[in-house]
Amino acid sequence: MHSLFVSGRKHALAAFVLIAIIALTGCSNRDVSEQPSESGGLIIGFAQLGSESAWRLGNTQSIIEAAERAGVQLMFENAQQKQENQIRDIRSFIAYRVDVIAFAPIVEDGWDNVLGEARDAGIPVLVTDRMINTQDDTLFAGFIGSDFYEEGVMAGEYLIKKADAIDAESLNIVEISGTVESTPMKQRAQGFADTIKGDARLDIIDSVSGDFIRSKGKECMQKFIDTHDKIDVLYSHNDAMTLGAIEAMEEAGLKPGEDIIIITVDGEQKAIDLLKEGKINCVVECTPLIGDTIMQIAAQLARGEEIPRYTYSEDRVFSEFDDDLDELPERGY
Ligand code: GZL
């Protein structure tokens, strides 16, 4: 694998030392006159947010394998769910003077300073997966990822169809949301709420963040079961939390997919398998497999070419109403 592979805590010290040397000597260990060769002698710094779900692991694998296919030298760092680590990692890429910086921002706010440093160093930035909140359009060149609002809409549209199919009079919905202040959490909630708000049968009676983590998804569901007498629907912002919620339901003697309708987002293999078993009713896809697109757009950037400001993945919805679930190919994550 042709990658400069730097990851984990023990290398954080190395990154710090690298920055210190550069600060003291005023130079980086890469000659700025070097230009990436057409063949892909590109060096990309990728600051990943963590390893919280199978989705994230699939995203990481997609990026690393795509870099190898493209002949890109990849500096990859995992921030282990901490924004301050991502900011540190981006600074180490600036110090090294990579050709392009790409990252998946764990939350939307707090990026202006470090991205301003990248811009002032002449290093273009790609925002991937999740979005940032900024007033300064010069801080990044483009976004690559999914339309989370549309994912929420697809979840809502499924539930309206389900309510019609079972001739429901009223459905109490509980929501387990993702990492607070992250784009997928905000937009999946908004898209779903906007879609169902005109339907008097559908009522979101409770919502709490499970931070996209399986164990927290279980805790949230346990709390809902203890608090509410009538829960008809779970809308969960990712499959990892849904798997935890299903554990809680079964421990409480409830039949997932029957006693409680389950709508989940991501499209991991495990969720599709549970959909086929009838334990999940709807899976909204959010593909993590965007590595090749990132490498292709990064190469265009490095060559000084125009790129789209927003590049969205095509996501689809799978549900109990589909008759081709057994023909679905392996999900790959
Ligand atoms: C969505 C991504 C989310 C996934 C979760 O693009 O940011 O983060 O839905 C992951 O599984 O933790």
pTM, two decimals, is: 0.89
Residue 227 burial by Cβ neighbours in a 10 Å radius (0-12, 13-18, 19+) = exposed
Q: Which amino acid is at 283?
A: V
Average pLDDT value over all residues in the chain: 91
pLDDT for residue 8: 43
Best probe residue, ligand 1, of 49, 80, 238, 263 (max atoms within 8 Å of C-beta): 238
How many Å lie between the centroid of ligand 1 and the Cα of residue 23?
Answer: 36
pLDDT for residue 82: 97
293 or 41: which leads in pLDDT: 293
| Residues ≥6 apart with Cβ < 8 Å to 94 | 101, 117, 118, 121, 123
Determine which residue's CA is closest to atom 3 belonging to ligand 1: 184
Helix (H) or strand (E) holding 240: helix 239-251
How many Å lie between the centroid of ligand 1 and the Cα of residue 33?
Answer: 38
pLDDT of 266 higher than 70: yes
- Residues 241, 52: Cα–Cα separation, whole Å: 10
pLDDT for residue 6: 41
Sheet of 100-103, strand order: 73-78, 43-48, 100-103, 125-128, 142-145, 310-312
pLDDT for residue 296: 97
- Residues 242, 217: Cα–Cα separation, whole Å: 6
Average pLDDT of the residues in 290-316: 96
pLDDT of 93 higher than 60: yes
pLDDT for residue 41: 82
Q: pLDDT per residue over 15-35, tens digit each?
A: 455 444 444 444 444 544 444
Question: Given pLDDT bands bounded at 50, 70 and 90, which one contains residue 2?
Answer: very low
How many Å lie between the centroid of ligand 1 and the Cα of residue 72?
Answer: 25
Pull the structure tokens for residue 330: 């392996």
Q: How many CB atoms lie within 10 A of CB 292?
A: 15
How many Å lie between the centroid of ligand 1 and the Cα of residue 259?
Answer: 27
DSSP per position, 307-318: --SEEE----EE
98 or 36: which leads in pLDDT: 98
How many Å lie between the centroid of ligand 1 and the Cα of residue 163?
Answer: 27
- Residues 226, 206: Cα–Cα separation, whole Å: 12
Helix then strand count (H, E) for the chain reads 10, 12
For tokens 């290398």, name the residue: 11
pLDDT for residue 40: 55
* Residue (of 78, 70, 122, 130) closest to 101 by Cα position: 122
pLDDT for residue 7: 42
pLDDT for residue 4: 42
* Residue (of 274, 278, 280, 272) closest to 331 by Cα position: 272
Question: Given pLDDT bands bounded at 50, 70 and 90, which one contains residue 212?
Answer: very high
**Longest pairwise C-alpha distance within the chain:** 72
Q: Which residues pair with 261 in a beta bridge?
A: 233
| Residues ≥6 apart with Cβ < 8 Å to 19 | 91, 92, 95
% of the chain exceeding 90 in pLDDT: 88
How many Å lie between the centroid of ligand 1 and the Cα of residue 32?
Answer: 35
Question: Given pLDDT bands bounded at 50, 70 and 90, which one contains residue 13?
Answer: low
Q: Which atom of ligand 1 is nearest to the CA of 265?
A: 9
Query: Would you give the DSSP letter of residue 247?
Result: H
pLDDT for residue 30: 54
pLDDT of 165 higher than 80: yes
- Residues 67, 44: Cα–Cα separation, whole Å: 9
Q: Which atom of ligand 1 is nearest to the CA of 52?
A: 12
On whether the CB atoms of residues 117 and 94 are closer than 8 A, the answer is yes
Best probe residue, ligand 1, of 51, 53, 180, 216 (max atoms within 8 Å of C-beta): 53
Q: Which atom of ligand 1 is nearest to the CA of 130?
A: 7
pLDDT for residue 69: 97
Residue 282 three-state SS: strand
How many Å lie between the centroid of ligand 1 and the Cα of residue 56?
Answer: 6
Q: Which atom of ligand 1 is nearest to the CA of 146?
A: 6
Q: Which amino acid is at 280?
A: I
Q: Which atom of ligand 1 is nearest to the CA of 212?
A: 12
Average pLDDT of the residues in 89-102: 98
How many Å lie between the centroid of ligand 1 and the Cα of residue 189?
Answer: 13
Angle at 175 between CA 173 and CA 178, to 5 degrees: 165
Instruction: Provide residues with CB under 6 Å of ligand 1.
Output: 52-53, 55-56, 129-130, 145-146, 184, 212, 238, 240, 265-266, 286
pLDDT of 120 higher than 80: yes
Question: Given pLDDT bands bounded at 50, 70 and 90, which one contains residue 325?
Answer: very high
Question: Given pLDDT bands bounded at 50, 70 and 90, which one contains residue 38?
Answer: very low
How many Å lie between the centroid of ligand 1 and the Cα of residue 178?
Answer: 8
